[in-house]
Every structure is written in C-alpha cells, then in structure tokens.
Amino acid sequence: MAALAVLVGGGTWTAVADDGPPAVQREDRMLRPGGVPIDTSYFTAGGSGKRPAVLIGHGFGGSKNDVRAQAEKLAAEGYAVLTWSARGFGKSGGAISLNDPDGEVKDVSGLIDWLAKRPEVELDKKGDPRVGLTGASYGGAVSLLAAGHDQRVDAIAPVITYWNLADALFPDGVFKKLWAGIFVTSGGGCEKFEKKLCEMYERVAVSGKPDAAATELLTERSPSAVADRIKVPSLLLQGQSDSLFPLGHADAMQKAISANGAPVSVDWISGGHDGGDNETSRVEGRVGAWFDRYLKEETGTDTGPAFRVTRTGGIDSTDGAALKRGASSDTYPGLRSGGREIPLGEGTKTFRNPAGSAPPAISAVPGVGGGLSQLSSLGVGLSLDFPGQFGRFESAPLATSVHVTGTPTARVTVKATEGRDAVLFGKVYDVSPDGRQQVLPSQLVAPYRITPDQQGKPIELALPAVDHEFDAGHRMRLVFSATDLGYASPAEPATYTVTADGPLTVPTAPAVTTAAATLPWWTWGLPAAALVIAAALLLTARRRTATPAPDPALTDVPLQITGLSKKYAKSVDRYAVRELSFRVEKGQVLGLLGPNGAGKTTTLRMLMGLITPDEGEIRVFGQAIRPGAPVLSRVGAFVEGAGFLPHLSGRANLDLYWQATGRPAEDAYIDEALEIAGLGDALARAVRTYSQGMRQRLAIAQAMLGMPDLLILDEPTNGLDPPQIREMRDVMIRYAAGGRTVIVSSHLLSEVEQSCTHLVVMDRGRLVQAGPVAEITGSGDMILVTTAEEVSEPLAEKVASLPGIGSAVRLDDGRGLLVRLDGATTSRLVADLVRLDVPVTGVGPHRRLEDAFLTLISGGAA
Amino acid sequence: MSAPVQPPEARVEAEHPEAAGYRAGRTLPLRVEAMRQLRRRRTLLVGGILAALPFILIVAFAIGGTPDGEDGGGGGRGGGRINLMDVATESAANFAATSLFVSAGFLLVVPVALFCGDTVASEASWSSLRYLLAAPVPRVRLLWSKLVVALGFSLAAMVLLPLVALAAGTAAYGWGPLKLPTGGALAAGDTIPRLALVVAFIFVSQLVTAGLAFWLSTKTDAPLGAVGGAVGLTIVGNVLDAVTALGSWRDFLPAHWQFAWADALQPELEWGGMIKGAAISVTYALILFALAFRGFSRKDIVS
C-alpha cells in the first residue's frame, strides 16, 4: 500500500547545504500510508550503498520541518532518513487521534513499507527494512508504539515522551488542567482532534475530574498498552524539568522493555517540557551512537551507560551559563534505590481546601519562563504556598549532604471532610539553614486523589522523582498543599488533616557516581610546559665560561686589571674601555684620571660587577670579578653619585644597607662612617630633603661601612665645599695608611695631585700612563717654554730629539712647548732653543699635574 | 666629617676571599626588603585605599538604601538575575564578598602591578640598585627577595580588603551566613574558608599581572613604565575577552577567568573555572618570572 506514493510537484530534489561531503539530498513527497495524505521528506547522502533507515517523528504541535536538522545529520552519517508530519499537523491530512493504533501508528507501518521498497535501504528480509525510530514527545510516543505494533522496528530512541498518556494528564485521578489545555491548544484546538477525543477533553475539563472512560481511551492509545510487545533496544531520554511527562514514565518504560529482554539505557536530560537545556547536541549524539550500534551493528560503538543523569553544578562564571556534568551507573537504579530514612517532625496538620480552589499554590508553570525549574538546581526558584492551605513536616538539619535520585516516599494518614476525596499535592522542599529560603527541586509536585475508603489509614505516597542535592545543614520540608495552579482540585471547600506516620524515605542511588569534571588537557599541560620553558630560560642564562680560579699570587693585590675592553651595546664601533691594564698595590691611594668619556666610570662599573667586560679580566685580591662575586664584600664603592631610598632617613638607609649585606652589625663601624658623613641631626630626616652635598657625604659613609679593604670613590669631592674637600683628602690618606687601598677617580687634577700616591691616566678608553704621581709629573723636570711665534711641528720634533730632552710637545695654540728634561739642564735647553732659532719669550718650571696630564693625553693622541 | 677615623687593621689573611661574616645566602633578607618597601608612600596609600573602601561602600549603601528589598511570600527569590550587589548588605560575609567583587576587576590589579612593577625599577631610578648589587647581593638573590616581598605585599593587600570589610560589615550588618546571589546561603562557619579560597584564587589569577610587571620592572628604570605597562596589558586582555568572536581562544586569556572565583560562592563549590584560570595565570607567570630572572642575571646595570 505504500506504493500509493503521490509525488507532489514532481518530486523536489534539493541539495542541502552541508559543510562537508557527502551532500544530503532531500525528496519531499506526499504519501498515503494509512489512508490519509502524509507529508514526508526523505533524506539520503552519498552513493547508492545499502543503509539502515531512521524515522524521526516530531513533537505535538509541530511538523516534519522541526526535525530536518537532525534528519540531515543522520543522513550524512549514512542513514536513509524519513520524516513526516503526523496526521492533523503540517500539510498532512486527517485529524489528530493521539497516536491511535489505527491512525498514526498505522501510518508509520505504511512508511516502513515504503522504506522497504527503497533500493538503498538495507533489508533484514523482504519487506522488512532495517529501521529505527526516534522523536521527541509525541514523536517519541509513536516510536514506542510503532515498536510495539510493528515487529519490523529494530531500535528506538524516544525522547521526553509518555508511557501512559492517561497517567500524564490524569495522574492519580487528578486532572492536569493547565498542561492538558496547552496540549489541546498547541494541537490547533479541540476541533482538530478526532471527535471522540475532543468530546472527552471537554467533558473532563468541565468536570475537573477524569472519568473511567477518559482514562481508558487514553490508556489504550498509549505505549503502555503494548508494553509486552516492545522488544527492541531502547534508549530512553527523559527530562528532569518536566511536569508533563515526569521521570516516572521513563521508569515504567525501562521496567517493561527490559522485562522483555531488550537492552535499555535511561538518560535523564537537564531540560524537559518545562524548559531548560534540552542538551540537543548531546542527545542527538547519543541517539546516533545508539543507532550505529543497533542498526548499523557497529559493535564497537559505545552506547553509553545504562543510566545517566545530567547534574547542574553551578554557573560558569565566565559566561553565566549553567554548568552541567553527567553522573552515571552501569545499571538503571530505578526510582527507589538506596532508600534513606529522614525522620520528620511528628504531628497532625490540618488545613483547608479553599472554595473554588483559589488562590492556587504555584509550582511548575508550564509555558512560562524557559528554564524556571532550572533555577531550582541553582538554589533559586519560584514557588508559593498559601497559609492555611498546606501542612508541612520538617526534618532536622541534615548532618551530611543527601543526594536524592528518584522518588521519595512518605507514609501518611489523610482525612478529609466527611465523604469527600482529598486532593493533595505533595512536594519536598530544600530549606536553607536559616529557614528563610526554600527551593522546590525541578518545581515538581505529585498529585494524589485519596478516596474516602483510603482515608484514615496509613498509606504510602510517592513524591516527585527528582535528582537533587540537599546540602548539609539544609532541611527537607515535606509539604502537602490543597491546591496547585497546574491541576484541577475540587471546588467544594474541605478540611484535610494529614498525619505523618514515619520518616521520609529518600532514594540516594548510591551506584550513580558523578563523573569527575573533565578539565581540558591544557589545564595541566600548559603549566607543565611553562615550567619546562622557564627552566630552559634559566638554565641557558648561565654563562658558558666557568668562574676562573682564584690566583694565589694576587691574594694581596687589591686590584689587577688585565686587557680589559668594553663596548656598550648601542655603540658598535666605539670602545668605552679598550685593552686597559693596570695594577694597584696595597696601601696605595690611586688616582684614576681622565677627561669625561675616558672610560673611568665604565671601568669602575666593571670593577663592581655591574657590567660585564667584553674582554679581559679584573681581579680583586686574586678573585676574578663577576656579577655578585663574594669578594666584592671587601670593596666599598661610591660610584656615579648617591643611591638612597628617598623616603627613609639617612640613618635608616645606612642601617638597612648594612643589613642587606647580611653581615654582623658590629662589623659595620657605622659610627665611624657617620662621623665622616658629619650630617648631625639631619641623619634622622628623610633623604629626599638632603642637599646634593649631604647625599654625597652619606654615600661616602655608606661606601666606608664595614671598613672595606678596597675603597672606590668616584668624583668624591663633587658638591663639597673647600674645607670638606680638605677633610675628605685627609680621610683618604688616613684610610690608606691603615693598610687599605683607595681608588679615587676624578677629573679635578689638582685634587688628585695632593692626595694620591699613584696615578692611572686614561683617555678615550685607553690607558695613557700609570705610575707614582712623582714619576708622572716628572719631579719638576717639566719646563714650559713660551714663544713669540707659532712653533712648527718639525721644530718641536727637533727639540724633542735634542740630547737630554725626554719630550717636547707643542701647546694647543702652538705658541709654546712643554718640554720634559731627561738629563739636560734648563740653561742648556734655553741655549739649544736659541740655537734652533726658537723665538723664546719665557722659560719656567711647570710642575702642575694638569699640564702633565694634557701632555700625556696629547702625546697619546699624536 | 671632623673626627679622625681609626679603622681596625686591614685583613691580611687570604683563605677567605670574602669579608668576614659575609654569606651570599644571607644578603637582602626578606625582613630587610620588607622594611625598605613598607614605609613608602605608595605602600601606605594602597593600604589606606583598600582599608577605606569598605567604609566608602557602607556609606554608599547607607545613602542609596539597601540594594534589594526583602522578597515576599513563602520562599525563593524571584527572577534569575545573579548579582552579588543584591545581597551585599545581608551580612558581613556578603559585604566582604561584594567588596572583593567590586575591586577584583581593577582595584586589586593596581597594587599587584605597583608592588611587582615598581620594586626593581624604582631602585634603579634611585641608583640604590647598583649599591645593593655591589654589596654584593647576588642578582638572583636580589630578585628573589624582591619578588617574594612584592607578592607578599600584594597578598596582604588582597587579604586586607576582605578583613576590613568583614570587620566593618560585622559592625554595620551583623555576622551571619553568606547569602548567595543564586539563592541559598552558606553557613557562617563555611564562609571564612570560602572567602579565603576567593582571596587565594584572586591572588593566583593575579600572578600573571605580577609576572608581567616584574619582568617589565627588570627591563626599565622607569617605575611608572613597568606599572603602567602591566595595568595596560591587563586592560587589553579585558578588551580582548570582550571580543566574543574569539570563541574558545578566550580561554587562554587570563582576563577570561578573572571572576571565576565567583564559583566559590555558589551553593555547590565549582572548581573547574578556578582550576583553569589558575592554570592559565601560572603558565604565563612562570614564563614571565623566568624571563625576568634570565634577563636580569645577564643585564649590564648602567643606571
């Protein structure tokens, strides 16, 4: 009969955009599988190889278009996928008959017949294609029903659907009016339904109480009617936030289908008909894996655990989304596994059902605020009970947290006003320790209709099945309310009494374990990689050359510099110091002389280990200098001005500096140093208030802390007044007299001349001369000859070559000579000069170091 | 400088190359470095601002009214808006958490950048760095002392704020459980460990700022350059994190996780975000610290 295919519009072939091969092709057809026109879409991809088929049903109020994305995905994965609009929906004809075996279910069988004739569909035998069914809600129910009615179905994966529609809409004989109304409305109104169903609904909605005929009508069209005939592998996905088809439906399916011997997995997803996250991507992935395993028979495919529940852990603080993680067990625990008794407060509660059953208590509000019930897992929720309309029993604060997975149960005795049914709504709140906040897990309530013959004796009431963690310190609050917004309760006023006859038994499903939060690899990988990189950076920073061994021969030599060269990084060609070598002996006061830019300071920086020489070596007491060389502790330095913490006093600066050296306080000789500084009361002031001279003196005092064996003073008299300069000179001389060594750098030559024993003269980075002061100044053998005319260069050379003359250098302006005698007398020199026709205007001794210095420097330049 | 100096006899023995009592490992002890930094105006200023902030907030709430009225009816807070501000005045613990919330984005970044960015650069600008190095304080030792003290000061700043807020909040709003913005509450006894965890996470998440500032500090003699550079790059990180088009690449931005500590104030302590955030921060920080040590140990000190 499936051959009654009617092609609409000659068959539309549409290449569906797809980011990768194979492209999915869609054929839209109008078929008549069960006597009414059914609008279908057929999806295939790839070549003509045989493949299993999948039928995807849509939800109530929808059409085949709702499932197109999933169909395309499955088609691309190698299935022949057929979607259809059920009777009464979309472009299909007929009236809604709520999955009537002779209606919608028959249509599905017809579609399977049609699939069996497709050349690309794999057949188990003639007319029996390899086919699976899935779909959400209404489409899920038809999956179950088709599996029960048509033995050709090989696997099903119903999502958030019902086992018994009567149970869903008339739970325990209480009319779920709000959902039922929404259900009918979303179907397009009562007139769209089969007449029998419409009449039934209107009858029940008016009376507010389902009758036996209504229950029977819905039950016979429900999957539960074919419970013993569903024998195919079933993946049951049910929503936790679902007051329409709560978790109990999946529990009943699981029991029935696994009793038939088929493999069953149960998966409680986060969302449901009340809203929230339906985990579409994960659900479709799992459904795909289920079909891969049972339709394609890929035995290696992991179909997941027998039971999985999505738990909400909190909020992702980076994007505000709820965090979810799965908990699972290898067996389905059922709804009453691992019962734990929570004692409840005793007593009998009396409350009233208000006339007209208004105002109603509020729990789940269908169709309102997608994810309202989600909030309960975060500790927020909207729920309301009106005083006088409910009775409550409360536990003591929980000693440890209790994770409830399933349906809590309570034994109670209920009485109602004479002869009336007691219609109650049971719920278990999670109450915060201060008692001010209560949260209704998943916003679920369980309705009960307790008829007069059940009243007055203990009965067991099952509360809503939930997955919820009650934290330690929280209480469980069992509440029975007379009304609920979602349900029809009797309009007649009544008084109810409820007595708790025992503890609240809560299922804890101990076998269900939460998967450890999966952290991406980089959580550990990146820090580990960083550790490796950091170690590599530090290890490669070590200098290749080993520290040179100390030279025992130089142990008593305060300083020896050998072949020292340094170029700063920014000046490629110009050397700051070049091939400098000199030696300082113990007890010397060495003057390091040179004009600005001669390389004095650079040399001292290298001596202090602040900068690294390019070539050469500095040894202090035989130890090679490197950054932080321990021998530097025997060197005191004042180089390039003071360096103090401006916010601290002079005294605190010296104290902290000495403490920073880590040496014993008694070795500091701080009082002696402070006397040299001569700062008096100013020592207690912050250094930022000091004058230049005061800082200078404090810095020299700091250099002298600990009485170092080698004291280095760079331009020490800058900023000092003449008496202080003389004082400083005495200090240096006395200091060296104790067997210590002082190096003074200066460009104030007169200064050096008076205090130094030895000199090192530098110019443009090179050593010009080194030796005792007297030797360099020539012991009075320097003669300044002034002339009337300019002395030519050859003439100067002629003078220099005279016997007994050490050197003769023209003055800068050319009108004179600086002559060093080397054996000759002054009168002999004058005679020779006259003989050489030098126009002499004056001859005099020139002992000043400054001239000697100039002589040396100009000699070096010549 | 008048009295004559009578220095003791110069040392002649040569077995020990270094001065008597000198041990490289004892130089620049943490206590000394802390003393050097403690009396600085910036330290006192940061401490003052952080200590004053809770009082400013109390005054603000007093003037503006409590941030949220009491909810009505039988329980549950309406709406899904999640904001610590709503529950700021519920208890001292809530107030402390709110103080952290308003400060974590910027106010707590500045002290970290300041303490870590200024520490070496300011010594260089004062020229005191070369005297420390010539003392000699070994370079690695100097950096280590400075880093530990700077991080210690940063941690102290982060602890100071909630401590003052707890004390001030107890006086203003009373001691009580920590009411969570998502509903529910944490018992008063659980509050202190949770807040300690928050502070610990903020500290770890700021290690990246610390590392950046410290590295810059060894690179420049301008203290403000190091501090400003670190704060600036933190702001750039925040801006990039706002570019949602970057998708999962944002996971590797430290700024992406700066509020992950809010997970510690959820009914169910959620570790994932904090672990990821800490991992990212530690990753960057390790490399930046290593760069600082590497660069400084070979650098020519010319300041």
Question: What digits encode the pLDDT tens for the residues A633-680?
Answer: 999 999 988 899 999 999 999 999 999 999 999 888 888 888 877 888
A13 has pLDDT over 50: no
Q: Does B22 touch chain A (CB under 8 A)?
A: yes
pLDDT-derived band at A79 (thresholds 50, 70, 90) equals: very high
Q: Is the pLDDT of residue A118 over 80?
A: yes
Four-CA torsion B21, B22, B28, B29, nearest 10 degrees: -40
Q: B1: distance to nearest CA of chain A, Å?
A: 4
Q: List, edge to edge, every strand of the sheet that includes A615-620.
A: A577-584, A559-566, A615-620, A623-624
Tokens 């100039």 sit on residue: A854
What is the arithmetic mean of pLDDT over B200-226?
A: 93
Peptide bond into B136 cis (omega under 30): yes
pLDDT of residue A446: 95
Q: Which of B128, B202, B248 to probe by mutation at the A interface, max A CB count within 10 Å?
A: B128
Tell me phi and psi for residue A258, to 5 degrees: -70, -25
Question: In chain B, how many domains are there?
Answer: 1
Expressed as residue numbers, the domain containing B194 is: 29-65+82-297
pLDDT in tens, A724-750: 888 888 888 888 888 899 999 987 677
Pairwise CA distance, residues A222 & B26, whole Å: 84
Note whether residue B223 is domain-resident. Answer: yes
Contact between B82 and A522 using a beta-carbon 8 Å cutoff: no
**Which of A628, A641, A739 has the CB atom closest to B138's CB atom?**
A628
Whether the bond between A22 and the residue before it is cis, its omega within 30 degrees of 0, is yes
Of B184, B279, B298, the CB nearest to A379: B184
Average predicted confidence (pLDDT) for chain A: 86
More confidently predicted of A793 and A237: A237
Q: Does residue A760 contact residue A582 with C-beta atoms inside 8 Å?
A: yes
Closest of B137, B5, B94 to residue A670, by C-alpha: B5
Q: How far apart are CA A494 and CA A91, in angstroms?
A: 49
Q: What is the pLDDT of residue A254?
A: 96
Assess whether pLDDT exceeds 70 at residue A191. Answer: yes
Structure token digits, residue A426:
């049971």
Mean pLDDT, residues A323-351: 89
Position with higher pLDDT, A145 vs A16: A145
CA distance A675 to chain B (A): 5
Nearest chain B CA: its distance from A555 CA (Å) = 6
Q: Is A465 helix (H, G, I), strand (E, B) or coil?
A: coil
The reply to whether B219 touches chain A by the CB within 8 Å rule is no
| Residue B167: exposure state from Cβ atoms within 10 A (0-12, 13-18, ≥19) | middle
CA distance B144 to chain A (A): 13
Using an 8 Å CB-CB cutoff, list chain B residues near A541.
293-294, 297-298
Q: Quick check: is B1 in a domain?
A: no
Cα A219 to Cα A347: distance, rounded to the nearest angstrom? 39
CA–CA distance, B65 with B68 (Å, rounded to integer): 8
Pairwise CA distance, residues A8 & A183, whole Å: 31
* Distance from C-alpha of A315 to C-alpha of A310, rounded to nearest angstrom: 14
Strand A422-431 to A438-439 pairing:
antiparallel
Pairwise CB contact (< 8 Å): A520 & B256:
no
Asked if residue A315 lies in contact with residue A378, where contact means CB atoms within 8 angstroms, the answer is yes
C-alpha pair distances (Å), A462 with each of A289, A360, A447, A478, A655: 34, 21, 9, 12, 79
What is the arithmetic mean of pLDDT over A152-179? 94
List, in order of start, the domains of chain A with CATH numbers: 8-164+222-329 (3.40.50.1820), 339-514 (2.60.120.260), 552-773 (3.40.50.300), 781-861 (3.30.70.1560)
Contacts of A402 in chain B (CB under 8 A): none
**Residues of B in Cβ contact (< 8 Å) with A469:** 268
B266 near A CB under 8 A: yes
Mean pLDDT value of segment B247-258: 85
Instruction: Report yes or no on B108 lying in a domain.
Output: yes
Q: Which chain A residues are closer than 8 Å to B131 by Cβ?
A: 637, 643, 657, 702
- Write the pLDDT tens digit of every residue in A593-639: 888 788 888 999 999 999 989 899 999 999 999 888 899 999 999 99
CA A825/CA A839 separation, integer angstroms: 19
Residues of A in contact with B36 (CB under 8 A): 645, 648, 656, 660
As a whole-number percent, the residues of chain A with pLDDT over 70 amount to 90
Average pLDDT over residues A179-198: 90
To the nearest whole angstrom, how far is the Cα of A566 from the nearest Cα of chain B?
A: 11
| Chain A neighbors of B3, CB-CB under 8 A | 672, 675
Q: Nearest 5°: phi and psi at A130?
A: -80, 110
From residue B97, give the alpha-carbon distance in Å to each of A315, B54, B78, B108, B167. 17, 11, 22, 14, 13
Helix A104-116 × helix A138-149 angle, to 10°: 70
Q: E strands, A293-440, where?
A: 307-315, 322-329, 339-342, 348-353, 390-394, 402-406, 409-416, 422-431, 438-439
B67 in contact with chain A, both atoms CB, cutoff 8 A: no
Does B256 sit within 8 Å of A609, measured CB to CB? Answer: no
Q: Is B7 inside a domain boundary?
A: no
Q: What is the dihedral of CA B29, B34, B39, B43, to 10 degrees?
A: 150
Rounded Cα distance between A132 and B48, Å, is 71
Is residue B24 domain-resident?
Answer: no
Lookup: tokens for A151: 């033995």
Q: Do B1 and A706 touch (CB under 8 A)?
A: no
Chain A residues in contact with B283 (beta carbon < 8 A): 526-527, 529-530
A729 CB-near residues (< 8 Å, 6+ apart):
A751, A754, A755
Domain annotation covers residue B179: yes
- pLDDT at position A382 over 70: no
Q: Between B80 and A554, where is the model more confident?
A: A554
Cα A755 to the center of its chain, rounded Å: 66
Residues 275-294 of B with CB under 8 A from A: 275-276, 279-280, 282-284, 286-287, 289-291, 293-294
Residue in A382, A436, A538 closest to B293 by CB: A538
| Domain assignment present for B13 | no
Tokens of A247: 């978790």
The answer, yes or no, to whether the previous bond of A558 is cis (omega within 30 of 0) is no
Alpha carbon distance B236, A83 (integer Å): 50
Cα of A423 to nearest chain B Cα, Å: 21
**Beta-bridge mates of residue A727:** none
- CA angle, B36 as apex, B30 and B42 as ends, to 5°? 120
Work out the angle between the directed axes of helices B139-173 and B272-297 (0-180°, nearest 10). Answer: 150
Whether A660 sits inside 8 A of B28 (CB atoms) is yes
Whole-prediction pTM = 0.70
- Here the tokens at position A856 are 């040396």
Provide the number of CB pairs (under 8 Å) joining chain A to chain B.
318
Which B residues, 232 through 251, put their C-beta within 8 Å of a C-beta on chain A?
Answer: 250-251
In a domain, B245, yes or no: yes
Confidence (pLDDT) at B264: 83
CB contact under 8 A, B32 and A659: yes
Report the run of H or E that residue A726 belongs to, with start and end. Answer: helix A722-737
Q: Does residue B86 carry a pLDDT above 80?
A: no
